[in-house]
Every structure is written in C-alpha cells, then in structure tokens.
Structure 1
Amino acid sequence: MKKLLLLLTCLLGLQTAWAQFPMGGVTPQRKAIPGTADDNTPKGNSKITGFVVDSALTKAVEFASVALVNKVTNKPVDGTVADDKGKFTLNRVAAGEYKLLFSFIGYENKTVDGVIVAKGQDLDLGVIKLASKTKTLEEVTVTGQKELIEEKVDRLVYNAEKDIMAKGGDAADVLRKVPMLTVDLEGNLSLRGSRNVRVLINNKPSTIVASSVADALKQIPADMIKTVEVITSPSAKYDAEGSGGIINIITKKNTLQGLNLNVDAGVGNRGSNLSLNGNYRKGKIGFNLGGFGRANYNLKLQGFNDQTNYTGTGSTRTYQTTDGVNSGLFGNYNLGFDYDIAKNQSLTAGVRYGARNMLNDLNLNTQSFINDVLTGTVRRDVDTKNLSGTVDVNVDYLHTYKPQQEWSISTQYSRNDLTNNFDAIERNATEAMLNREKNINHNLNQEITLQTDYQTPLKKNQMLEFGAKGIMRTVNSDYQYLYGNGSEPLTQSTRQPSGALDYNQSVAGGYASYTLTTKNRYTIKAGTRYEYTTIEASTREGGDINIPNYGNLVPSLNVSKSFKGTTLKLGYNRRIQRPGIQQLNPNINAANPQNISIGNASLRPELTDNVELGVSKNIKKLFVNASFFGRFTDQTITQVVSANDTLAGGVLTTYQNIGSERAVGTNIFGNLAITSKWNVMLFSNILYSNLRGVARVSGSVSEPVSNSGFNVGGGLNTQIQFKNGWGAQAFGFLQGSQVQLQGRTGGFAFYSAGVKKDFKNKKGSIGIAGENFLTKSINIRTDRRSAQFTQLSDMHIFMRGVRLTFSYKIGKMTMDAPRKKGKSVNNDDVKSGGEGMQGGTPATGSGTTSRPR
C-alpha cells in the first residue's frame, strides 16, 4: 500500500510540475517514471539529494513532489518523490544547469534556481523549506455547530465549550446547566437526587476530587471544560463504584502544531481568577503547561438554628445565630508530555498539583433554655483552616494494531495531604473567656493504580473489550484535641482524646464487555465486572477493626434502538458504594458543639440496582429527551442524627448501614434552536424517594424511621449570538426541598446572565457576567424531626456577584492530524461524603472532608 501511495503521489506530482511549464505549440519530450524501462530522459552519472521540511515546524514533508527542470529549455527532464522522512534523491543526472520545483498539497510551490551539476558529482542541496499556505485559524468560517446535547448508548454529553459565560467561572457554574445534575450553593453535586456520584477528569480520577467534590469544582476553570459526560448507566468497563452514576469532565486539548499561550483573567466583587495555559508541539513530541488560580472573598452568611430536645422531664432548647465570612484560595497546575513512539504507539505522562486554602470565620451566639427558661448565653468564635495539597502522576502507553483494535497499560500515583483544623473560643454574656478548644487533624491519602485494557472488533459490527485493574489505597487520619479553661494554656483534652485511624484497602477487578450493532439499528452493550475488596483497619485506641473482605459481581446491559429520528434506550446496572473517609473518620467534629459529627470506621459498602428507560426525538429544530428510572439500594450508608446524651440541646450526627432507599423519577429536557444563532434549553428533574432506617433514641435503644416525598427541580438556559462578535446568555435554576431520612433540606434558586464581545482577530474576548445580582441573599430552610428532637435552621448566603472577564491567545498554530493518546487510569469507586450543611450551619473542619480513593 505504501509503495502504491508513493507511485500515485509521484504521478500527481509530475503532472503538477509539467503543468507549470507551458510548451506553447511544441510537443514536450515524453516523461516516464525514473527507473522504469520506458525512461528515455538523458542519463548521466551525477546525483542530487536533499530533505524537504516544513518551514515553520522543521518537520518532514512526506511524499513531496520534486521536478528537475532544464535551465536552458525550461522543460522537466526528471522527477521523484520524497520519502516519509522528507528525503529525496535524483539519480543518473546529466551534467548541466537546472532548477528544481518542489510542491505538495497545503504548501506553496518553491523553486530552487541555479543548480549546476558537474559530471560525476554527488550534489547535496541540504534542507529545502516549504511554507504552508493553509489559512490561519482565525480566517476559517465555521458553518456548522455541534449540538448542545448529544446522546449515546450509555451517556448524555453536554458540550460546555459553547457556554459564553464560562470565562471567570468554575466547574460548578457549568455543571449547574447540565440536565439531570444538581449543584447546590456550596458546590455539592447530585445526579437524579443522589450524591453518590463519581467525578472523573479526562476519564480518570484525581486527588483534587478526592478530598471534596465541592472544593474540586472550584479548582477547575469553567472555560477549560470542553464537554461534560453524564453516564447514568456505566458499562462493565468502569469501576463498580458510584451508585448514582458517573460524571466525566473533559477538558480542552490542543492537537495543533506550534506554540501558543492562553491568558484568561477575571475580577469581581466575590472572586477573581487568573489562568495561563501553554502548548507546544513539534513533530512527534508535545508538551503542555498550565496554571489556574482563583480567590474567593466576601462570601458572607447569616442564619439561625432553633433546636429543642425532648426528655422525660421536659425540654431543652437552644437558639443559635450564625454570622460568618468564608474566603479561599484555589490552585490547579499541570505539566503534560506525549510522545509518538511510532505511528501505532504512543506514550503520555503528566503531573497535576492542586492546592486549596479555605478559611472560615464563624461567630455562633447560643442561648440555652430549660422548659422555656433562659439559663445561659454563650458566644463561640470559630476559625477553621482547611488546607490541602494534592498530586497526581500518571504514565500511560497505547498500542494500536488496526482501527479499533488496541491495547493499553495505565498507571497512576495519587497523594492527598489534608489539614483540617479549628480553633474555638467561648465567652459568656459579659465577654469573659470561658474556655478555648483546638482540634488538629491531618489526613494522608495515597493510592497506586495499575490497569490494562484490550479491545478488538469482531467482524464489522461487534466489539469485544476486556481488562484488569488493581488499586492499593492507604488512608491515615491523625487527630488530637487541646482544651483550656479560661485563659489557661491548652493541654490535651480528656473529654475528647486524641486518636488515629489507619485504613488500607485493596481492590482487584476484571471485566468483559461486548457490543453489537445490527443492521436494523439496534445497539446492544452487555458486560460484567467482578471486584474483590480487602480491608485492614485499626485505631490507636481500639486496635484492629474487624471488616470482612467481600467480592461483588456487577452486571450491566444497555440497549438502544434508532428509527425515524427517534432513539429508545433501556439500561440496567448494579453498582457499589464504598464508604469514604468522611463516613469512616472517628475524629469528632465539635467545631459547633450543638452539631457534632463523627464517622464510623466499621461501615460496609452499599449495593444499588439501577433501571432506566429513555426516549429522545428530533422534531425539526427541537430535540426532546425523557428518561424514567428506578433506583433500589440496600445497606444504605445513612446519615443519622440523634440527641447528644452529654450536651443539653445538642445533636450528634454519624453514619450507619441501616437504611434502604427506593426511588423512582423522570428527567425531561428539550433544546430548541430558534435560529442558527439562538437556542433555548428547558429541563426538569422529578424524583419520588422512600427512605427507611433506624435512629438511636437513647443509649442502645433505637427506633424505626422512615420518610418519603417528592424532590422537584428545573431550569432554563438560553444563548444567542449577535453580529460583530457579540453574544449573550441567561440561566436560571430552581431546586425544591430535598427529602432526608429525618426531615427535609431546604431548596434554593440560582440565576445568572452575561454578555461577551470577541475581538475582531478572534484571539481574545472581554465580557461581564453576574450571579443572583437582583437578590441580596439566598435563603435555605432545613427542618429535621424525630421523637427526640426538632431542629429548624434558616441560613442566608450572600452570593450576589458581578465579574469582568478577559481572555487572549498568543502564538500561531498550524493544523495537524489529531493523535490518539494513551488511555489513562479511571478510578470511580469511592463514596464522597457529607451533606455540606449540618443543622443549618456549614460543616466546619476537623478532618471530615477527605476520603479514600
């Protein structure tokens, strides 16, 4: 095939060269392919050699055409084609004066004049540079647009790169607009009402996500997100974790040749950001280096928590008001490398570092009542520091044998160092210091992953995939409490002693998946995965924790059928949800003594069966999708709230495998292209859930608890492009209250709008955007009840914000064929923790936001 291509290119090149020299009425000398029996050109014993390269990139111009032209007669007398390294050779050249014409598609023709060849001479012309005549990217007019929403057999794809308000925002701003997803005001993510969601970045996990999904979303710049994949029915190829589903955030990648630098900046009354991203590619080697920094400030919150605990002799009530300010610094830095070992082999490597510095300053004023009689007033000033440094290092290899047949090896090392401390001072009504309390908690989370995957087509309409994976995790939590009466120095607390948790988890898994596409447009994807988990855990105080090893077989089946613009989908899968460090960590979070939380190191995983039926339809300019689903979970890891036996008016939150959830719901959304430059998307999420569990009444006495109800949300997103580079976008979302095992968490509303102006050269833009700019604050009301207590919380979060954004691209790139890079590690198997709000007061510290990966 390669020789045939060479021959055809030679013929075309000679035809092009011949056309450059009109002969008038003279019949030209017949030209044959050099080296053939029919070659009747004048022969000599000289030789001309050289290399043809791209003038900008200094890379070989493969198969460039070379024509040898007699200087006197101006007629071509010989010709050849460069090889795949750009080298050309003209043999048996007669002595004389010549000029050479070089040509190739996509390059300007070049003539080398005054080439004098002596008899018997080997003439080396060295490097011949051809200039590209490809138009620069800013001169290209795009006539088609990618759909805002794309649907595949097992996922929905939201093309976030079309979001004109992305500049200056973070990933949470983008994910709020994705159908089926809900992102609350703290950045906590849920899919179809479930927070048991795995978040991947470019098909692989990151320790940036490990510590907290909400914090991770703040570290990912919105304008670097290309697509968001919502995988509601993961195939066997994915890890079995994530009972709610998988969210895969794909960032923008550069497959162009050359050097460029993107600068993005934004400044606002609530936050500012600066991002620098550079790419360089030369031939087979490419590098990328990027950094993103974001500062949040002036994030105020106010609210109250009214709680009554019932006892056999009466009631104890606490009324607590909250006044606080949050601030944070987030950084995300990466260095990447890729190398094409050969045409069918590639090697990629990368290092990603994430930094987080979150500071919370809360003033808690608490009034205590016994049988409605005021017994005391205490003010508690709490400073919380949540600091982390996360590192991901990966090396991946991909070998492609033929189209769709490939084998890959992926490795990854991850490390997450998290420090989560608080320092609290309590004063009485006369401002005298009662006591001081300090919690120091350091978490170290390390993970090593090795996996291999192989896929091969079977005939033209079948695909077989199989692979294996091993994950070794180590989680350590070391904590201590210091306490001092009045102004006394801090000493080790006897009420809440120090401790440590060592948690080692290993997961070995293997899978097989088969895909069939039939002539009548059925697509069937079936597979199964087996994972075996071993756990060794111990605490410094209690010694070894007996957690049995367990194995799980998790099947999956996805079927789709397309006909007349309509697609039907049916899916089933079983998923596992392992507990995260937030549920496991025995460190006592007592930053707010009225709302104390503690983990449970003996938790086991929960199992979920998911079923869904979906239909999508294109009706002219309208795309409509509706999906109906059921989720059935046993051994649910449930957050349980009970009255605190040691603190009057306080509650204790922990986690237990005592619940079950039966949920059914629907997601409906439609996207209407009113014109080619104006589209409107509407979406709604409706879920009915039934929760059952057991709650502790007192001591070892427990009682059954159940709750059920609807969770409803929906939104609108519209975007329009005007002339001269102007564009505008508006978004609004309303989330109703959410059913919990012991009450309901309040709903909220969020909206934003913005305009953007692209520069004429398309290399930059400037814009302005605002969030909740007509609303002073957002109010969230939470109501929790049991036989022991009632708790009513009302929190106001001040999020009214406006920001200016600026973006500019530096450098010139030329188009090159996209390269298929090595696959990467994809761990999606640990439950993220927490509710984000505890009794109406934001969770504050003490090491409850890191989780094993």
Structure 2
Amino acid sequence: MKTHTLLLITTLLAASLLTPAWAQFPTMGGSSQTKALPGTAGDQSPKGSAKLTGSVMDSAQAKAVEFASIALYNKTTGKAIDGTVADEKGKFALAKLVAGDYRVLVSFVGFRNKTIENVTLANGQTLDLGTIQLSSSVKTLAEVTVTGQAALIEEKVDRLVYNADKDITAKGGDATDILRKVPLLTVDLDGNVSLRGSSNIRVLINNKPSTIVASSVADALKQIPADQIKTVEVITSPSAKYDAEGSGGIINIITKKNSLQGLNLNVDSGVGNRGSMLSLNGSYRKGKAGFTLGGFGRAMYNTITKTNLDQTSQVNNVSTLTRQTGDGTSQGLFGQYNLGFDYDLAKNQSLTAGIRYGVRNMISQQDLVTQLFTNGTLGSTSNRNVDSKNLSGTVDANVDYLHTFKPQQEWSISTLYSRNDLTNNFDADLLNGSGELTGRQQNLNKNVNQEFTLQTDYQTPIKKNQLIEFGAKGIIRQVNSDYRYLLAGPTGNFTTENNGTLGELLYHQNIAAGYTSYTYTTKQRYTFKGGLRYEHTFIDASTKEGGTLGIGNYGVLVPSINASKTIKGTTVKLGYNRRIQRPGLQQLNPNFNAANPQNITVGNPTLRPELTNNFELGLSKTIKKTFINATFFGRVTNNAITQVRQPSDTLAGAIITSYQNIGRQYTYGTNTFANVAVTSKINVGVFLNIFYSSLSGQTLGSDGASTEFTNTGFNVGGGTFASAQFKNGWGAQAFGFMQGSQVQLQGRQGGFGFYTIGVKKDFSNKKGSVGIAAENFLSNRFNIHTVLNSPQFNQVNDVYLYNRGIRLTFTYKIGKMTMDAPRKKAKSVNNDDVKSDGSGQAPAGGSPTGGGTPRQ
C-alpha cells in the first residue's frame, strides 16, 4: 500500500482535532455518512495515468507543514474526487489521476486554506505544483463565530465531549459550574458528581489523576477555574486501555492549552457576595521549548446552612426520638499552582514534565441544639458548638516521553508521583440546656495518601483500517490514617479516658495491569473497538489496635467492546464493558467521626471491590438545526459498596453510618438531550435523565445479626440552557437544572435545583471582557428533604441552603503570540480506580493515556 494512503487513513483516526477540506471521507475511529476513500475497495471512481506532486511550507517560519491535508476537486462538478496528506517533510503525491481540469485545496489547523485554481492534467503527465505556502490564521481565529451543534457537543465511539470554552455564566466560578451543564452528569449543591445516577466515577484533569481528587472530588473541582476549562469528556464506555476502575464511567476535564509561540499572560478575576477569585496564567514558548506558570486562588464565604432533624430509633425495646436543629456557616480558601515544561527532542520525540500544588483550607462552624425523648418523655436538652477543619496540600509531579514513528504509530513512557496530606479535625464544646460548659471533645485525623505509577503504551495501525494498542502499568500506593478521639472536662487536658479512642490504619495497595485493544473499520463503515485487560491487586492492610486485616489479593479480567454505525443520518452506538471499583480512603478509614453525635460516620477497612457490567445503546441524529441524542443503558453491580445506617447500641438516639458490600444493584434508564441552533447567534438545549434503581442485599449489625434490605424506585432529573450573541461584543446565557429525589438502600435522598443567568461584554480589542452573573436569585433558600428508614430507625432530615449569589467578572489578556503547527506531546499517566463516597471522597487509582482522547 502506498505511503500517502497509509498516512491518510491513520491520520484520520485522530480527526477530532483536524477538519480538512475533504472531511466528508470517513475516519477509522468513528462513523461516517459519506463515500469511501479513493483507492479503497468501496471507491468506484475511474483511474488514469496522471500524477500530481508538491510540498507544503509555513510561510512565516519557512519550514514544512507536517500532515497538511490536500483535496483534489473536479473543476466542472465541484466534487472532491481524491485526497491525501503531506508526509513529515511536507511532501505529497496523488497518482492514477484521470486527465482533466481540477482545483486543489490545501488546509491544516492553525493556517489559512490555500486554493490552487486551473490545474490541468494530461494522461501520463506528472505535474509538480512546487512549494505551496500556508499563512497563519491566528488573526482569523480570533474573529470566528462557531455555529452548529458540533461546537457544543461532539460524539465519539466511546464518549461524549462537551465544549465549555464560551460559558460566560461560569466566569469567576469553578469546574462545578461547568459540570452542572454537561449532559449525562448530575452535580449536587455540595459539588458531588454522579453519572447516570452512579457516583462511582473517576475524575481526571488533562488525562492525569491527582490525590487531591482522590481525597475529595467535590473540593478538587472548586480548585479548577471555570474559564480555564476547554472541554469535558464523559466516557460512558471506557475501552481496555483505561484502568478497570470507575464502574459508572470516567470524566476527563481538559484545560486550555495552545501551541502558540511567544509570551502570553491571562488575568481572570471575579468578586461576588459568596465568593471571589483571582487567576494568573502565563506561557512562554520559543522554538522547541515551552514553559507554563500559573496560579489560581478562590475564596468562599457567606455560606449559611440550617438543618432540622427528626429521627426515631428502636434499641432493646426502648424508643428514642431525637429532635435537632442546627445553624452553620463555612468559609474556605482554595488554590492551585502549576509549573510545566515541554521540549521537542526531535520532530518525532517529545518530553513533558510538570509539577502542580493544590491547597484546600475549609473551616466550618455549627451550633446544634438536641432534644432526646425516651419512650415519649423528654430526657435531656443539650447544645453543641462544633468547629471543623478540612485541610489538604497536594503535590503531583510527572515526567512523560512520547516517540511518534508515523501517524498513529507511537510509543510512550509515563511516570507520576502524587502525594496528598489531609487533615480532617473537629473541636466540640458541650453545653447543657442552661448554656453551661459541661465537657469538650476533639477528633484528630491525619491522612497521607501517596502513590507512584509507571506506565508504557504502544499503538500501531495494521493495514488501512485497523489499529492495535497494548501496554502495561504498575501502581504502588500507600495510605496512612492516624486518628484520635479525645475527651476533656470543662477545663484540663484531652485524654482517651472514658470511651476516647486512638488508632492507625496502614493500607498498602499495589496493582499490576496489562491490556490490548483493537479497532477495525469495515468497508461498510462499521466501526468496532474491542479489548481485554487484566489487573491483579496486592493488598497488605493492618490497624494499630487490630493487627493484620487479612484482606486477600484478587485479580480481574475486564473485557470491553464498542461499535458504531451511521444509517441514513442516524448514528447508532452499542457498548459493553466490565468495571471494578475499589473502596476509597474515606470508606476504608476506621476513624470514628462524631462531629454530630446523633449522626456518626465510620469507615470499614475490610471492604472488598465491587464489579459492574455495563450495557448501553445510543442513538443520535441531526435534523436540520436540531441535534438529538438518546442513550439507553443498563448496569448490574455485584458486591456493591453502599452506605448502611444502624442505631447505636451505646449512644441513645444515635445513628451510625458505615459502608458494606451489600449484594447486588440494578440500574436501567435513559438519557436524552437536544440542542437547537435557533439562529447562528442563539442556541437552546434541553436534557432529561430517567432511570430505575433496585438495591438489595444483607447487612451485618454490631451484634452479628444480618438484615435483609431492598429498595426500588425511579430517579428523574433534567434541565435547559440557552445562549445568545449580540452585536458589539455583548452576549447572554442562562441555565436551569432540577434533580428529583434519589433512591438509596434505606430510603430516598432529597432532590435539589439550580439556575443561573449571565451577561458579558467583550472589549473592542478582543483582549478582555467584563461580565455579571446571578444564581438562584428568585428564592432566599433551597430545601433538601431526605427520608431514610429501616426496621430499626426512621430519619427525616431537612437541609436549608442559602445560596443566592451574584458576581462580577473581569478578564484581560496580555502579550502577543504567533501560531505554530501543533505537535503531539508526551502522554501522561491516568489513574481512575477508587470509589467515591456520598460526600465526594475517594482515593486515587489507575487509567488511560488516550483511548480516543485528543491531546494538545
């Protein structure tokens, strides 16, 4: 097979970043609605003896434009009849051409298209077009208004890509504000993310894991400025290239990058009644080397929460009613700072290194008033003033190498070291009904989560319509949790006497994995992507007081298959994969958190992983100006890790929440959404999520007795969004979302709503903008009403959130850049293996380098 044909086929496999003039030809990795490539078995066009050659150069830098796209059009009909891409030296050739009159279109991302008119070929002739110079399109790019639905949503064989570049309401916000608007995702008011009703997902940042995400997904999202996010990828059916973890799927947040030459500095700021932010991000690139340096800080304040709790428990034939009210406030400081470096060792080899530091400082205060009724009689009234601290510092460091032999044939080595130091403490003053101080409590919990990962991947095309990938990965992970529960009187020192406790968890988890993946596109333009992955997990866990926990090692074989086909304009996708979900740090941590003694949480270090089989059928179609997508899915989880609540045997009226492998969970449902381009300036969208959940299994109580639980029900959520661009740089955007109550093993968790509207004005020089955004401004507070029950207890909990907000934003760009043809950078390690708990907690774990993910 000729070199130019192989380059064409393999380059089109990554066509998500390129949009050549002959983009109507099908790509290997996705569906197509058009004709087969010239030269393939499906091409019936006549062949001649003429030949066309030439080379493509960058007019500004006098160097070759690698892999530029060349399209040949019939002068009479205007139809594209052949096409190719230039090689590494910018040279191209089209052979076996029929004599006639043609025009040639040359294009590449970042450059203006070049058209050569009046190209006449005779039989047997070889015509050399010479050097074709392309000029940078950087000025044009600044003025382009992208229309159509592809600018908002892209659909690939195993994922959905949401482009977040132009979200003006998120200015001054964080990643949580963006993820709320991504179809298929649900983000609650605390920032906890779920995909199709499952919180067992893994969040990556630029294909990289982070222990800050591992410790708390919700808090990590608050550290990412919204206006630095380029796209959000929702990977619903991960291939074998991805680690086997994340039973619900994977979310990959891609931040803005570029291949510009020169010096650039972006300043973003915002101030509001509930939060403020300041972001400075700079980049410098000269020749083969590039540097980035950035910092982001965000303050959160005026966050008020009120709670009402009524719960009844039955222990030893004694009925206890707890009535509790709470008034709380919280404030926090979040920061993220990064230094990056990349260097082109050669035109086909690159080295990337980076270090990132994240900091979180959350302080909460809550005053609780508790009344206890025993068998209907008021027994006691107490007040409790609690100060909680949630602090963390995270360091991520990576070094990655990539060698590209030719388009889609590449080998990479990736390394990552990550460490998170987490402190989760509280201090409580205990007062009687008269307000006198009767005692004090203190919980000190220091956690260290660190890991080292080494990964290598290789991929190569086979013939013109196949791609094979394989690789290996190792993760060495260690978690330490040192916890103390201390007591004291009104005065004096804290001690462990009178039911105080102290302990330590040491958890070693090492993972060895290997995979292979194969992609095949048929002549009828069916695309199949299948793979097999094996992971073996080695565990050594112990507690200071209990010794070795005796958790055995385990292995898992993970198959996956994805298929797509476009039939009469409708794209059909089928997917199946098996996933494993390992327990997270907060689910393992045996620390006895009694900040609220009526609602205590404690981890379970003996948890086993859960296994999930996922099935999905997706349909999508563009009808005139409307893009419609509907996905039907099913999920069966064995050994499901679930929150389990039980009355305490020792603390009157208290409910203890822990985690157990309860048994089996079924989820079936559909996600539908539609985008309408009303005009070239106005877009409107609507989405709806409906799924049915069934949870069943056995739990063990503190007395060793088992209890059967079953709960079923529907979960419904949906929303709408709209955006508009006006003259003179004005724009507006609105978004609204409502999530109904969610089925849990022991009841239903309350639903919530969120809405926002914003207006932005760009400066005339396009270097900056000012804006204003308001959220939840029609009501003073929102009530989350949760009802939980079992044969031993009933609980009704109302949480009132006062989240009405308004913020002003300002952004400005300093510096002048010139466009350089983008090069592929070294891939980075991705770990996505641990389960998140209900509060956004989860430690780090393994994952992909690619799998269809575009890299900048």
TM-score class, shorter-chain normalisation, is: 0.7 to 0.9
* Equivalent residue, structure 2, for 1:542: 546
The answer to whether the 8 A contact 1:259-1:280 is kept is yes
Q: 1:784 aligns with which of 782, 788, 792?
A: 788
* Equivalent residue, structure 2, for 1:635: 639
Shift of residue 695 of structure 1?
3.7
Determine whether 1:440 maps to 2:414.
no
| SS of residue paired to 1:208 | helix
Q: 1:796 aligns with which of 791, 800, 805?
A: 800
* Equivalent residue, structure 1, for 2:118: none
* Equivalent residue, structure 2, for 1:623: 627
* Equivalent residue, structure 1, for 2:178: 174
Determine whether 1:165 maps to 2:165.
no
Residues 852 and 574 of structure 1, relative CA distance in 2, 3 Å threshold? closer
CA distance in 2, matches of 1:660, 1:106: 54
The answer to whether the 8 A contact 1:582-1:834 is kept is no
TM-score, normalising length: structure 2:
0.83
Residues 140 and 440 of structure 1, relative CA distance in 2, 3 Å threshold? closer
Q: How does 1:381-530 map to 2 (within 5 A)?
A: 381-530=385-534
| SS of residue paired to 2:214 | helix
Determine whether 1:562 maps to 2:562.
no
* Equivalent residue, structure 2, for 1:722: 726
The answer to whether the 8 A contact 2:470-2:516 is kept is yes
Shift of residue 834 of structure 1?
3.0
CA distance in 1, matches of 2:64, 2:637: 61
TM-score, normalising length: structure 1:
0.83
* Equivalent residue, structure 1, for 2:192: 188
Q: 1:141 aligns with which of 140, 143, 146?
A: 143
Q: 1:574 aligns with which of 567, 571, 578?
A: 578
The one-letter amino acid of 2:266's match is N
The answer to whether the 8 A contact 1:412-1:448 is kept is yes
| SS of residue paired to 1:162 | coil
CA distance in 2, matches of 1:143, 1:598: 52
Residues 419 and 851 of structure 1, relative CA distance in 2, 3 Å threshold? farther
Further displaced range: 368-377 or 247-256:
368-377
Determine whether 1:150 maps to 2:154.
yes
Shift of residue 677 of structure 1?
1.0
Q: 2:651 aligns with which of 636, 647, 652?
A: 647
Q: How does 1:235-314 map to 2 (within 5 A)?
A: 235-314=239-318
Determine whether 1:552 maps to 2:556.
yes
Q: Deviations over 1:495-544 (max 9, x none)?
A: 13110000000000000000011221211000000000000011111111
The answer to whether the 8 A contact 1:148-1:162 is kept is no
Q: 2:682 aligns with which of 678, 702, 710?
A: 678
The answer to whether the 8 A contact 1:211-1:849 is kept is yes
CA distance in 1, matches of 2:709, 2:504: 32
Q: Deviations over 1:348-392 (max 9, x none)?
A: 000011000000101111011112211111111110011100010
Shift of residue 137 of structure 1?
3.0
The answer to whether the 8 A contact 1:396-1:823 is kept is yes
Q: 2:231 aligns with which of 224, 227, 230?
A: 227
CA distance in 2, matches of 1:172, 1:404: 34
| SS of residue paired to 2:190 | coil
CA distance in 2, matches of 1:375, 1:164: 55
* Equivalent residue, structure 2, for 1:123: none
Residues 808 and 140 of structure 1, relative CA distance in 2, 3 Å threshold? closer
| SS of residue paired to 2:165 | helix
CA distance in 1, matches of 2:146, 2:234: 24
Q: 2:340 aligns with which of 336, 339, 343?
A: 336
Q: Deviations over 1:224-267 (max 9, x none)?
A: 11000000000000000000000000010021000010000000
CA distance in 2, matches of 1:524, 1:334: 39
Residues 624 and 747 of structure 1, relative CA distance in 2, 3 Å threshold? same
* Equivalent residue, structure 2, for 1:598: 602
Q: How does 1:120-131 map to 2 (within 5 A)?
A: none
**What are structure 2's unaligned runs of at least 5 residues?**
3-57, 66-88, 90-109, 113-133, 847-856
Further displaced range: 132-141 or 529-538:
132-141
CA distance in 1, matches of 2:791, 2:629: 43
Q: Deviations over 1:102-148 (max 9, x none)?
A: xxx999xxxxxxxxxxxxxxxxxxxxxxxx98676378532544521
| SS of residue paired to 2:220 | helix
| SS of residue paired to 1:776 | coil
| SS of residue paired to 1:715 | strand
Residues 434 and 849 of structure 1, relative CA distance in 2, 3 Å threshold? farther
The answer to whether the 8 A contact 1:317-1:649 is kept is yes
CA distance in 2, matches of 1:144, 1:629: 32
Shift of residue 330 of structure 1?
0.2
Shift of residue 165 of structure 1?
1.6
Residues 360 and 493 of structure 1, relative CA distance in 2, 3 Å threshold? farther
Shift of residue 773 of structure 1?
1.0
* Equivalent residue, structure 2, for 1:361: 365
Residues 312 and 139 of structure 1, relative CA distance in 2, 3 Å threshold? closer
CA distance in 2, matches of 1:547, 1:314: 37
Determine whether 1:749 maps to 2:749.
no
The one-letter amino acid of 2:341's match is F
Q: 2:616 aligns with which of 612, 615, 619?
A: 612
Shift of residue 487 of structure 1?
2.3
* Equivalent residue, structure 1, for 2:588: 584
The answer to whether the 8 A contact 2:832-2:844 is kept is no
CA distance in 2, matches of 1:525, 1:765: 44
Residues 561 and 772 of structure 1, relative CA distance in 2, 3 Å threshold? same
The one-letter amino acid of 1:137's match is K
CA distance in 1, matches of 2:657, 2:388: 19
Shift of residue 281 of structure 1?
0.3
CA distance in 1, matches of 2:61, 2:649: 77
The answer to whether the 8 A contact 1:634-1:659 is kept is yes
The one-letter amino acid of 1:482's match is L
Residues 287 and 529 of structure 1, relative CA distance in 2, 3 Å threshold? same
* Equivalent residue, structure 2, for 1:112: none
CA distance in 1, matches of 2:142, 2:630: 37
Further displaced range: 168-177 or 695-704:
695-704
Q: 2:671 aligns with which of 647, 667, 672?
A: 667
The answer to whether the 8 A contact 1:754-1:769 is kept is yes
* Equivalent residue, structure 2, for 1:816: 820
| SS of residue paired to 2:170 | coil
CA distance in 1, matches of 2:546, 2:136: 70
The one-letter amino acid of 1:216's match is A
Shift of residue 694 of structure 1?
2.2
Shift of residue 660 of structure 1?
1.1
| SS of residue paired to 1:277 | strand
Residues 237 and 374 of structure 1, relative CA distance in 2, 3 Å threshold? same
The answer to whether the 8 A contact 2:340-2:353 is kept is yes
Shift of residue 638 of structure 1?
1.4
The one-letter amino acid of 1:522's match is Y
Shift of residue 563 of structure 1?
2.6
The answer to whether the 8 A contact 1:138-1:761 is kept is no
The one-letter amino acid of 1:545's match is L
Q: 1:832 aligns with which of 832, 836, 839?
A: 836
The one-letter amino acid of 2:690's match is I
* Equivalent residue, structure 1, for 2:778: 774
Decide which structure has the larger Cα Rg and report it: 1
Q: 2:661 aligns with which of 653, 657, 663?
A: 657
Q: How does 1:678-697 map to 2 (within 5 A)?
A: 678-696=682-700
Q: Deviations over 1:274-301 (max 9, x none)?
A: 0000010000000001111000000000
| SS of residue paired to 2:706 | strand
Q: How does 1:50-69 map to 2 (within 5 A)?
A: 61-62=62-63
Shift of residue 311 of structure 1?
3.6
